[in-house]
Every structure is written in C-alpha cells, then in structure tokens.
Amino acid sequence: MISELIGLLITSVLLNNAILNQFLGLCPFMGVSRKKSSALGMGMAVVFVIVAAGLVTYGLYYLVLVPLHLEYMDLVTFILVIASLVQLTEMFLKKSSPALYKSLGVYLPLITTNCVVLNVCLVNISNGYDFAHMLVYTIGTPLGFALVLYIFSCIRERLDTADVPASFVGNPVALIVAGLMAMAFSGLAGII
Amino acid sequence: MNPLNLILAILFFGGLVGLYVFLFIKNKNTPKPAGCENLKPDCSGCRDYSCPNHPKEES
C-alpha cells in the first residue's frame, strides 16, 4: 500500500506531469514563467487551490452526488465548486492575511480557468481512487505543476540574456525549451 | 428519468450557481488590503483575450 502510494506520488509529480505529459495548464505555464518570483507565487497558489478543490469535490461527489443519483452532474458541479472555492479563498486571504494575499491573491483569478484543477477533480473520480490515493494524487499533481513551472522560469530568465536568433526570441524558444524538458522528464520513466 | 431526480438536479444546480453568485458578490465587496489595490499578475499573456489579466494589445 505504502509503496503504491509512493509510486503514485512520483508518477503524478514527474512521470505523468500535468504540463509536460498531459499538456494541461499551458496558459499559466507560458504566461507566468518569465520571472522566478511569479512562477513561485503561481505554483504555491495552484498547490493550495488544487488540494482544497480535490478534497471538496471528492467529498461532494461521494456524499451528495452518488446518494442522490446525480453522478452525471459531476462536470458542472466541479466547475462551479472550483470557481466558488477560488472566490472564497480570495475573500479569506483579503480579510485574514494581507501578506499572503499580496503574494498569492493576484494569481487566484488565473487559477479559475486552469484546467489542471478540473482534471485532478475528474481523475480522482474516474480512476475510482480511495481517500489515500486521492490525497496523494491531489497533492502530487500540483507539486509537479509548480516544480516544472519554477524550473521553466529559471531557464527563461537565463534565456533573456542568451544570444537567441531573432526569429526565436520569446515564445518560440520557450516552446522549444518546453519540448526538451518534456523529453528529459520522459526519461525518468525508468525509475518506476 | 425520474421526475424527482430531475427536480433534485435542477435544485442542486441552482444552489451551486446561487452559491457562486453570493461568493462572487461578497468577494467583490470585500476591500483589498492596504497596498494591494493595484496588484497585477506578471503575466505576459497567452492569446486568451477573454482573460481579464491579458495585457491588451493596442490595435
């Protein structure tokens, strides 16, 4: 059981990475990766929201939707729950922790449209995870997202000072780097 | 489909929408902390022009 959970954690962080393997969350991946500080703030906010959304949607599905035979409403329910949760989190941060709001709050509206959040909620249900597996997958996926976002931002900061051909400056060279990162991460497949 | 099930689905959906609208309005009316009034994410844009954080290009 423990080895299975560790395997799931490594898989969700590195091998089945949301960005490099599933091509999810590419909008913030390209948009918020120009500076390390922004990438770190976005990564932390994504971890917070995905863990909260995963727990709430999992509970809602098995405690409300299944008993009421409303399983077919999972998609629309999860979308509304995620959007509501982001509003609630933003309001909570505004009132209780201005310092945290300053570093994370600005990225919260961006997360509402981040497809990684919805993907985690749907995969938890479609794969039939029990609570322990759900928890590991829900923590592992945003950690993988934040890790790749941070590494990518470090590379992009270096790229700003590199001698890149004019036609490749900006997003083109960033996409090539993302492709190389995806190949590098796929090389980790042998560890499981 | 069972009519009771349909009514439950409509009520559940309405409740979720109501919850979202309530939280959206509450969040909008909650004042931002001092020093955070004009925070903008450092997002360079991804061609999603419907995103409120997209740096609009002047045409």
Nearest chain A CA: its distance from B27 CA (Å): 5
Q: Which residue has the tokens 């004042």?
A: B31
Nearest to B19 by CA among A88, A91, A5: A88
Is residue B22 in some structural domain? Answer: yes
CB atoms B16 and A27 under 8 Å:
no
Is A107's pLDDT higher than 90? no
Q: B18 is in which domain, residue-wise?
A: 1-28
CB atoms A87 and B27 under 8 Å:
yes
The reported pLDDT for the residue numbered B42 is 64
Q: Which two tokens stand for residue A180?
A: 């190389």
Domain locations in chain A as residue ranges: 2-186
Tally of domains in chain B? 1
Render pLDDT for B12-50 as a digit per residue (tens, 0 to 9): 899 999 999 999 999 889 888 877 777 766 666 666 666
Supply the DSSP string of A137-178, one letter for each residue: HHHHHHHHHHHHHHHHHHHHHHHHHS---GGGTTHHHHHHHH
Interface of B with A in 18-47 (CB under 8 A): 19-20, 23-24, 26-27, 30-36, 39-46
Chain A and chain B share a number of CB contacts under 8 A equal to 94
CB B33 within 8 A of CB A98: yes
- In one-letter notation, the amino acid at residue A117 is V
Is residue B36 in some structural domain? Answer: no
Render pLDDT for A153-170 as a digit per residue (tens, 0 to 9): 999 888 888 888 888 888
Q: What are the two backbone dihedrals, phi and then psi, of residue A151, each rounded to the nearest 5 degrees?
A: -60, -45
CB atoms B46 and A30 under 8 Å:
yes
Chain B residues near residue A32 by CB distance under 8 angstroms: 41-43
The reported pLDDT for the residue numbered A144 is 93
Question: What's the rounded Cα separation, in Å, for the pair A110 and A89?
Answer: 13
Is residue B4 in some structural domain? Answer: yes
Nearest to A24 by CA among A159, A153, A144, A136: A144
User: Is the Cβ of A38 closer than 8 Å to some Cβ of chain B?
Assistant: yes
Residue with more model confidence, A31 or A19: A19
Lowest mean pLDDT across A34-43, A49-58, A167-176: A34-43
CB atoms B5 and A77 under 8 Å:
no
Chain A residues near residue B29 by CB distance under 8 angstroms: none
Nearest chain B CA: its distance from A190 CA (Å): 34
Is residue B11 in some structural domain? Answer: yes
Is residue B24 in some structural domain? Answer: yes
Question: What's the rounded Cα separation, in Å, for the pair A39 and A37?
Answer: 5
